[in-house]
Structure 1
């Protein structure tokens, strides 16, 4: 049998690695999204394209990398393609380094003589790398991140690169200059801070490689190594990333406030001092021959060089770009930005349980902001102190939000233990807090099981569907395709309703990747324990350790599997090592090396092939334009120079993408209400941005500065309505007579609103002219807009809104997005007029037609039938995930509301055109007719189109009946407890369809529905 030298092996290893890279690159480039995806992608592409400041804690290196890629865009159309291609290439390079990592570990097990490798060994090593790398290429989580412009693909590349680099160091550790690999790793660690902190979790695994190479194993030595690696990890996270900025802020405060020097003088002093000290330290240790200390200083220096990418955040923020989240242009705001303080805090090792009540407020560190060339005190970062009886070790059930509390109790089988406490009126009352056992049960079942192991099994066993689940047996679980396993957990899968079974994310791997990985894990443990513990440490630190650190509450707004990609990367190493393990098993059966290696390779290669075939249809985003079109539609329907209020990520970031990247309607000012309580965001709203003028408000910076009017009370002291203009002046006043004693701090007096009812006088002639009111609406203008503020506390965003309404004088149109949280309407919805994807605020009483607000049929017709884009929705090849389907349901609702409003106006023919257009753009073949499609069926009935009404009613009833039968008759009592509202939803659909059929059809079909519905109810009641 032919033997190969080590150099020959390296050539084949490099060649096969690059072939694997080529396959991954081709796959990812073929399946990338052509525009921005939902969630953070639109924001990242926009911020990278123009070097703007995204959400905390920022990703400055990623921003610069996106900018480099998009510099080559010949037109705005190419910007998202190139930005998404960055993720695709970062992912394929991750696959390349994974391949080389697996082949390195496999070679250490398979080859005893490093100088010679025979043909069987060569094929086996390369097959291990090929199978393991391709399994990760086609894995659910990694592929998802690879095709969108997010940070996680680039973060995975850094993790793969540093892990590969420490193995290269290990290979050359006894050679001169081997420490250059350690310096390289330190530099990569520093750079990765500017992408995502996940990469730092590789430090313990890297430390183990160093320990096993340099020291003889002992339990004590291993413990010390893990302890030192933990200290190193915490030092970088808190000592360098946060500590440097904290120290810089203190130096800055002394230089500016005490020494009277200009703002940023302290930072510049520290910057040059740090460079000087590090340079001198490196020079002296090199000259004195102190190798270890020199290496440490050089490593610290390159980490700081990598970390310096955050200077781009401060520099760009100082330039006041249109997107400048948190405005981190000084050390104090940068620290707030890095600490993600706007997202709140949660206990980790010791803290409160969900029903703990604060007993005191503990003052924290003061924070400052620049003003008139000085730093002025803003507030202290206070924390609450809780009764020790309501605190515990390792608290997992800590959030007091009502829906979280309900979920805690469900996941932990809560009974609780009684604790006595004093009520506010001094009486002793008993409350129940979770026991430590219930706390741990929640940790195991929800945090570990639902929020990690479920994702792990998605990647290596199979996935039920892409519906976000919170424990329901019909949504988002892992499956494997083996009936007795799936049926026991989730009910009979062969009877699963078509709406679940036909989901493109319904993928079955039959546990093959999982089993191959477990075989590889056992093989490595038996053959090379040191490498096993290194891989296991990477697996744990990028998986379970993250679960512990995040301490997530129930009902996360989105699936979080992307956070654990590093853990799945480690498991892919074991999948690769499963190949030589299978080879050895086959060789025991038939002692023929070539036969055994060929059989093992072909059999195990089936694993990534199966994963690719199952996952392709739900990871191919190549034809999807829905998120970008959603943002375009929101903007294009607004009148010139208007103000559009949004609220969440998915109704804001697509708009930013359209404005910042594609230049769509830059005259519209997008104002996110969830940000509008921040002084930094109000500052931005008061600046001109592109073609959009500043928002017209009278509040000065002193009046909305952080700490001033963050929240004010609404006290109904004056029963009659008050003029909004006077109300705004009243709560902006600094007159002590216009303030009351704060219920939160008795030494403080705060502003308040003295009436719950306000009004705004309307000059009809002037408003009609300014707003371009059509003749149809002119006679509907009211003399006075009057509404009730339906809150007891109004945050700063509400104060800005009231100021805008009073000050704007109808000069600029004001809109609310239809996806905005109704909590932020502040009672204004009685003047909402639906014109498409947004409600327009007009001084015309709304009739509340088929939902919130009146329907402006003229404007809605223009938008829905002429202006809006609905690209790719009716293409059956395009994958529509749950986020996209949610937006599409909104579109259907809009068509239904327009059709029903036209029917109310006696325009049935126009209504039919609208309904048919809706079904043409959003056919039931590509988008299931769900509960929100009921108004479409009703509109068909009301328009007199009985054929289409019955057609779509029968499609919906068939789906609802199939689902209800499955849930009522096929699930066990335990499984029924984990249905959520799915059964009620399907019964509600059936009830409404029955009601409509009884009202309009009154024939055999209505009788059939009535009997079916009644039989379901009888069964449930019996």
Structure 2
């Protein structure tokens, strides 16, 4: 077997690659996906600057792939293909990693028998393909995100240390160490997760070079953590931090131009490295040479971040945080905009703040009075200090957000039994036991173990879980075991039972992995050493990340992608499970037959089953929903509009549509959350493509870091004041425009709560802000009350844009934003599709419906302009986040609202057409039933489409029946959790019965009433 083993091993590794590559190519998304994908693809396609800490190497490689797009609409496809190929290469290296580790256990005198060789290669294929079809890895493999490329780096460096192990005693073996260091440096430009492989790599080195002892193992562990710490907290920020010292010394101290200090520092660092290399060679210092060479290649890899500074200096349209100098780059790398979280020692969530102190300075570039370059301290980073009595080691419950606090108390089972007097108030400090309970119940079990079991036992569905038994749990497919944790599964209603994302593996991958763990652990000295290497990789990419992330509850999305490295390690053990079964069977039947039989059975039972279960909900083929969502937003706006958005999914798809595909570049997208940064406000003052700059009263020096970050609203004016005058007051540097806080800090303040914006009625009609038929509804001014106690920099910036616009450009707010982001302006909104337009027509909100409706305008947008990216196609999978995130339910509600308005105007044919259009594009077979459909039933009856109303009413009644049947079937410990929802469904039934009356459908009403009465009677009996 020896002569053929290497060839067969290489061929099968490439076969694993081919299987994975074909799988991912067939199932990848053809356009941009949700979350950060739109931003990453945009930054890559135009070499622009994304969110901190950046991913410049990803950007460069993705740009290379995007070059092969035949036109801009294929750029996302090519970046997604990059992820698919990177993931396929990851599978190939996983195969070779498993076979390398497995072969060591079966080689005797340099030979491996045919049967053992088949078992080893079978183990590699089963483990690699199990990871190929695993839930988490497959998800990241088919979209343009950093995690696929990051996984490849982890796979390659782990494989590379095993290659070093083969030649460790040969000349030039250390070149593998240098390669690993270079790959580590490169990986920093993708994602830092790859660095967590360092301890496992160190232990491979230790076990190869030394006989293991207790002290030696502890020393190796310590050294590995030191190396990890040096790279993460030394090299990555440290090199840039030292550069900032040089820059400050040369520019501020010696009067040199900007970037002189950085240049001198770079030359000095290069000279020092060259001298050290020469010294190590001349004096035969092998270890020193290896260390310095490793540092150099890490720096070469890390130098990809020069792309961030270079591109930021060019001021591209997307330039997040504007890291064009060494100080802003350091802040960018440290992700300072996201704040800090305590890890080793810190405060509990209800710790009273006793002071706010100023920490490190924030430098900005300016010219002094002589015109020389100068770095000036704009402000100091503020930091709260808390009552020390509320501090704890290993703080897990730290966020003071009200929603997070409720969840802390739920997951941690916090008891109010530790009172501490704070002034006149008694505050109950959580116990350390509750702190640990939250860690184990939420951070470990809910946010890691649940994900682990998704991948190796089964997944209930793709609805995000914040607690409870219906959504996002792991399942096995073994009914009685699932029912012990999740209640009655027989009565589960069709919406959940038939979800494509309901996947069950019957514990088979998990069991095979456990067999692999026990086999490797008991496979002699070699096996035990390698077991601890894999275990280190498993723990440091799993539990260690849990500890490091210290996640607060109610995360905005599931975070399983963060633990893919841990699942990679478990896939190695799945491969070893094949060897465990082979080892058991070979004593009971011929060894070769045993190897072939075990491999075949395991291939079918584990990766085969996982592929069969996961394919339908991981196949994104034909889905253009994210792009359609962006187009709908942009096409809702008139030319040259200003569109306010808020979160990532509200903004990134629009950036992609504009920047990559060139769609509606006349619109200026303004992300309100980013307006808190002076860099973003200043970018709004520049023209971008076909969009003109946005005039503002607040000049650059008025919004520098630390200035007007928080503006208290002080009621010193009793009558409404012109908004532009209020902005000028806030912009003034006069001492009289500030108030002193309790801490003695002076803040600019907003001098009243009542403000207005004047309206030129003829202008707003002539420029299309108001439709001619609505001219009689125009008010002479927009007047509103500011309800907030404080206005933040982004609030002031929004008001400044509105005050200076003078009705020149259309202004829109995304329908996906929270009401607080509307800043009191919502009564002057007009619904125009996926966005509200600011118009001088006052409309009182009704039934949570905002804005005036012009039926002709809205009908044209919904009927002729809006698309939904193939969601109606039976072969296109619609996952839960598309249902929630692209505002499908909001669209449904607004279609219903438009139909109601059309019926009010007597336009019944149009009402029916618009509802039919919605039901065609967003069918109930793909998009779940919800209460917005009650409006459809009512409007169908009003429009005279009785048959359509009856069908929809009956279908919706059946959904309510199935849900109530499920709720009533649950045992009391589960049923109580659904009491409120059960009552809600009963109210839905009552509304449906009322609608049947309204439509004069007596027979339908009687049938429904009898059906529900029998349901409740059955359970009463």
TM-score category by the smaller chain?
A: over 0.9
1:415 aligns with 2:415: yes
Q: Is the 8 A contact 2:157 2:180 kept in 1?
A: yes
In 2, Cα distance between equivalents of 1:63 and 1:218: 45
Q: State which drifts further: 933-942 or 325-334.
A: 933-942
How much has 1:1020 moved relative to structure 2? 12
Partner of 2:724: 725
In 1, Cα distance between equivalents of 2:253 and 2:832: 57
How much has 1:394 moved relative to structure 2? 0.9
Partner of 1:917: 917
Q: Is the 8 A contact 2:476 2:507 kept in 1?
A: yes
In 2, Cα distance between equivalents of 1:42 and 1:278: 40
In 2, Cα distance between equivalents of 1:445 and 1:849: 42
Partner of 1:680: 679
Partner of 2:264: 269
How does 1:183-198 map onto structure 2 within 5 Å? Answer: 183-198=178-193
Q: Is the 8 A contact 2:20 2:88 kept in 1?
A: yes
1:592 paired residue among 570, 590, 593:
590
Q: Is the 8 A contact 2:828 2:842 kept in 1?
A: yes
How much has 1:352 moved relative to structure 2? 0.8
Partner of 2:386: 386
Q: CA RMSD in A?
A: 1.9
Q: State which drifts further: 505-514 or 884-893.
A: 884-893
Deviations 1:440-489 (A, max 9, x none): 11111111100000000000000000000111200000000011210000
Q: State which drifts further: 92-101 or 999-1008.
A: 999-1008
Partner of 1:611: 610
How much has 1:741 moved relative to structure 2? 1.7
2:770 paired residue among 770, 773, 784:
773
3-state SS of paired residue (1:228): helix
3-state SS of paired residue (1:109): coil
3-state SS of paired residue (2:676): coil
In 2, Cα distance between equivalents of 1:704 and 1:633: 33
In 2, Cα distance between equivalents of 1:48 and 1:467: 31
In 1, Cα distance between equivalents of 2:219 and 2:579: 33
Deviations 1:910-929 (A, max 9, x none): 10010111111111112222
Q: Is the 8 A contact 2:630 2:657 kept in 1?
A: yes
CA distance change for structure 1 residues 995 and 731 in 2, over 3 Å: closer, same or farther?
A: farther
In 2, Cα distance between equivalents of 1:751 and 1:284: 59
In 1, Cα distance between equivalents of 2:188 and 2:586: 47
1:316 aligns with 2:311: yes
Partner of 1:714: 713
1:339 paired residue among 334, 337, 351:
334
CA distance change for structure 1 residues 983 and 871 in 2, over 3 Å: closer, same or farther?
A: same
3-state SS of paired residue (2:675): coil
3-state SS of paired residue (2:227): helix
Deviations 1:763-819 (A, max 9, x none): 212232233633201121111211111211111111112111221111100000110
1:437 aligns with 2:436: no
Q: Is the 8 A contact 1:736 1:749 kept in 2?
A: no
1:796 aligns with 2:807: no
3-state SS of paired residue (1:602): helix
Q: State which drifts further: 318-327 or 591-600.
A: 591-600
Q: State which drifts further: 80-89 or 853-862.
A: 853-862
Partner of 1:950: 950
3-state SS of paired residue (1:827): coil
Q: Is the 8 A contact 2:129 2:607 kept in 1?
A: yes
Partner of 2:370: none
3-state SS of paired residue (1:113): coil
In 1, Cα distance between equivalents of 2:406 and 2:976: 14
CA distance change for structure 1 residues 995 and 739 in 2, over 3 Å: closer, same or farther?
A: farther
1:151 paired residue among 133, 146, 155:
146
1:31 aligns with 2:27: yes
Q: Is the 8 A contact 1:45 1:149 kept in 2?
A: yes
Partner of 1:400: 400
In 2, Cα distance between equivalents of 1:829 and 1:285: 70
1:87 paired residue among 79, 83, 96:
83
3-state SS of paired residue (2:157): helix
Partner of 1:860: 858
3-state SS of paired residue (1:380): strand
Q: State which drifts further: 607-616 or 696-705.
A: 696-705
CA distance change for structure 1 residues 1010 and 798 in 2, over 3 Å: closer, same or farther?
A: farther
How does 1:468-867 map onto structure 2 within 5 Å? Answer: 468-527=464-523, 528-588=527-587, 590-606=588-604, 607-743=606-742, 745-746=743-744, 748-771=745-768, 773-848=770-845, 851-867=849-865
1:167 paired residue among 137, 162, 168:
162
In 2, Cα distance between equivalents of 1:330 and 1:1013: 69
How much has 1:995 moved relative to structure 2? 4.1
In 1, Cα distance between equivalents of 2:698 and 2:731: 7
Q: Give the alignment's TM-score, normalised by structure 2.
A: 0.96
Deviations 1:203-254 (A, max 9, x none): 1100110110111111111011111111111110010101111211122111
3-state SS of paired residue (1:740): strand
2:343 paired residue among 339, 348, 353:
348
In 2, Cα distance between equivalents of 1:945 and 1:294: 83
How much has 1:996 moved relative to structure 2? 3.1
Q: Is the 8 A contact 1:676 1:797 kept in 2?
A: yes
How much has 1:142 moved relative to structure 2? 0.3
How much has 1:422 moved relative to structure 2? 2.4
3-state SS of paired residue (2:316): coil
Q: Is the 8 A contact 1:835 1:857 kept in 2?
A: no
Deviations 1:284-316 (A, max 9, x none): 101110000000000000001111111100110
1:179 aligns with 2:177: no
Partner of 1:996: 995
2:285 paired residue among 287, 290, 293:
290
1:884 aligns with 2:882: yes
Q: Is the 8 A contact 2:697 2:728 kept in 1?
A: no
3-state SS of paired residue (1:906): coil
In 1, Cα distance between equivalents of 2:647 and 2:933: 24
3-state SS of paired residue (1:815): strand
How much has 1:993 moved relative to structure 2? 2.7
Q: Is the 8 A contact 1:142 1:565 kept in 2?
A: yes
3-state SS of paired residue (1:893): helix
How much has 1:378 moved relative to structure 2? 2.1
In 1, Cα distance between equivalents of 2:381 and 2:690: 38
In 1, Cα distance between equivalents of 2:439 and 2:262: 43
Q: Is the 8 A contact 2:841 2:852 kept in 1?
A: no
1:935 aligns with 2:931: no
Partner of 1:329: 324
Partner of 1:897: 897
How much has 1:1012 moved relative to structure 2? 7.2
In 2, Cα distance between equivalents of 1:673 and 1:995: 43
Q: Is the 8 A contact 2:418 2:430 kept in 1?
A: no
3-state SS of paired residue (2:522): helix
How much has 1:1015 moved relative to structure 2? 9.1
How much has 1:552 moved relative to structure 2? 0.5
In 2, Cα distance between equivalents of 1:708 and 1:382: 12
Q: May I ask how many residue pairs the two structures share in their alignment? A: 1009
Q: State which drifts further: 728-737 or 278-287.
A: 728-737
3-state SS of paired residue (2:620): coil
Q: Is the 8 A contact 1:626 1:873 kept in 2?
A: yes
How much has 1:988 moved relative to structure 2? 4.8
Q: Is the 8 A contact 1:190 1:307 kept in 2?
A: yes
Unaligned runs of 5+ in 1: none
In 1, Cα distance between equivalents of 2:685 and 2:937: 46
1:214 paired residue among 167, 189, 209:
209
How much has 1:737 moved relative to structure 2? 1.9
Q: Is the 8 A contact 2:461 2:499 kept in 1?
A: yes
In 1, Cα distance between equivalents of 2:782 and 2:906: 29
Deviations 1:687-735 (A, max 9, x none): 0000000112121101111111111111222221111121111111112
In 1, Cα distance between equivalents of 2:544 and 2:822: 41
How much has 1:117 moved relative to structure 2? 2.0
3-state SS of paired residue (2:385): strand
Q: Is the 8 A contact 1:994 1:1006 kept in 2?
A: yes
How much has 1:894 moved relative to structure 2? 2.3
In 2, Cα distance between equivalents of 1:985 and 1:189: 54
